[in-house]
Amino acid sequence: MKNRFLIGSRSSDLALWQANFVKTRLEDFFPDSVFEIRVISTTGDQFVDVALSKIGDKGLFTRQIETQLLSGEIDFAVHSLKDLQTDQPDGLRIGAVCKRELPNDVLISKEFSSIDGLPKGAKVATGSLRRKSQLLTYRPDLEIVEIRGNVPTRLKKFDESGVDAMILAYAGLHRLGFDSRVSQLIAFNVMLPAVGQGAIAVEIRGGDAEIAELVVSLEDGPTRTCIIAERAFLRTLEGGCQVPIGAYASLENGQVYLEGMVGSLDGTIVFRESIHGDAGQSERLGIRLAEKLIQMGASELLAQVRAEASAEAVIR
């Protein structure tokens, strides 16, 4: 086995935190090896003031990294798992899934401690159609405004705006040391997270036994089981990060409990169901839950969402 390895990562503070987390863990497991991080710019990083729904859907934050992985310019890549397509490029696979952080979304506000406490007509910033849909289902009186950028950038934009609140993922805030900014950890009955939210994925080349043996030390089996169910749900719905789809799977006593939702952009229509079954059938559970929502009308709703999706004012 060679003793020098190159890790591909995006340039954001959170991406580098994740890459360094993986690097440190591997250095602990393999003290005689050298691990270096190569920063690679992706499409999603280059268009920071454009709504994600206008840029496209597939590989926004992974394509350029995966190109270098396939060509052998890097040995493996570290991603937020929620950024990975459910159908990965030929020749690539997820070599390890690290233990998941809390996947909840959180409310950030200078004045208000909860979504319920926001005044009527309050402005809430988010760059996610999934969050927008669920917020408007719960509080149809809210005004949703678009915000883009990495975590520190969004916090700065929010602080300089007149917006009442903002929604972000807990995991990113926690990993970067911004716990003090959290006003409310949002319960799953109000807002289901993105598929894979809070989990870190290590992507490798298929058939690369050397790298597979290296990164398996990072694997967390329970997280992988839950992620398989969530990604099967999303794949069956043919969804991506630019449509209002949420899901969360948990593992208890050998049983996977999966809940999923599909909503309209204005929050007036929501299909939400749950399912549970043996952990060994996690992928099948995700497929079955998606099929339940499709029977309820989810496919037609998603087609309508894709046709209607348009950018709102970006906080600059």
Handedness of CA 138, 141, 145, 149 (dihedral sign): negative
Residue 204 host element (H or E): strand 200-205
pLDDT at residue number 225: 98
DSSP-assigned letters across all residues of 111-178? S-SSSTTSPTT-EEE-S-HHHHHHHHHH-TT-EEEB--S-HHHHHHHHHTS--SEEEEEHHHHHHTT-
What amino acid positions are annotated as catalytic residues?
A: 83
36 — alpha (psi -120 to 50), left (phi > 0) or beta? beta
pTM: 0.91
Rounded-to-integer distance, Cα 300 and Cα 91, Å: 32
Rounded-to-integer distance, Cα 262 and Cα 244, Å: 6
Q: Which residue has the tokens 């159609």?
A: 129
Report the DSSP pairing between strands 245-252 and 92-97: unpaired
CA distances (Å), 158 to each of 83, 127, 164, 177, 251, in order?
Answer: 23, 12, 9, 17, 36
pLDDT at residue number 240: 64
pLDDT at residue number 316: 44
Number of H helices, E strands in the chain: 11, 13
- Strand arrangement of the beta sheet that strand 184-185 belongs to: 143-145, 123-125, 165-169, 105-108, 184-185
pLDDT tens-digit profile, the chain (316 residues):
689 999 999 999 999 999 999 999 999 999 999 999 999 987 666 555 555 555 455 566 788 999 999 999 999 999 999 999 998 899 999 999 999 999 999 999 999 999 999 999 999 999 999 999 999 999 999 999 999 889 999 999 999 999 999 999 999 999 999 999 999 999 999 999 999 999 999 999 999 999 999 999 999 999 999 999 999 999 999 876 568 999 999 999 999 999 999 999 999 999 999 999 999 999 999 999 999 999 999 999 999 988 876 544 455 4
Contact between 251 and 281 under an 8 Å Cβ cutoff? The reply is no
Type of residue at 200: I
Rounded-to-integer distance, Cα 240 and Cα 58, Å: 7
CA distances (Å), 238 to each of 17, 32, 294, in order?
Answer: 30, 43, 11
pLDDT at residue number 309: 67
Q: Which residue has the tokens 């004045």?
A: 111
Q: Which residue has the tokens 């204005």?
A: 266
DSSP-assigned letters across all residues of 38-69? EE---HHHH-TTS-HHHH-SSSTTTHHHHHHH
Question: What's the first-to-final CA gap in the chain, in angstroms?
Answer: 48
